[in-house]
Amino acid sequence: MIALDLDRASINGAIERFSLLVEGANVAIVYYSGDGCSSTARTTCCPRTQIWKPRRT
């Protein structure tokens, strides 16, 4: 399964479809080549449509 240039909803859908494809597998691999975001000790994948707003301190 290949998924390219996804927005957030499409990433979530692709992961859901992939999880159904690999159900019962001993090993499943996801390769994500893109931006990662880290905030308050939590790291996530960033879709291309992510909008960043500065945090007010």
Whether 6 contacts 12, CB under 8 Å: no
* Of residues 37, 38, 32, the one with CA closest to residue 6: 32
Domain count, the chain: 1
6 alpha carbon, distance to own chain's centre: 9
For residue 35, which phi and psi values (nearest 5 degrees)? -90, 145
Can you give the pLDDT at residue 13? 92
Range of the domain at 50: 1-57
Can you give the pLDDT at residue 3? 86
pLDDT single digits (tens) 4-56: 888 778 888 999 999 999 999 999 998 877 667 776 777 777 766 666 666 66
Q: Please list, in sequence order, all residues whose beta carbon lies within 8 angstroms of the beta carbon of residue 34, skipping any fewer than 6 positions away.
A: 45, 46, 47, 48
Can you give the pLDDT at residue 7? 79
Can you give the pLDDT at residue 57? 61
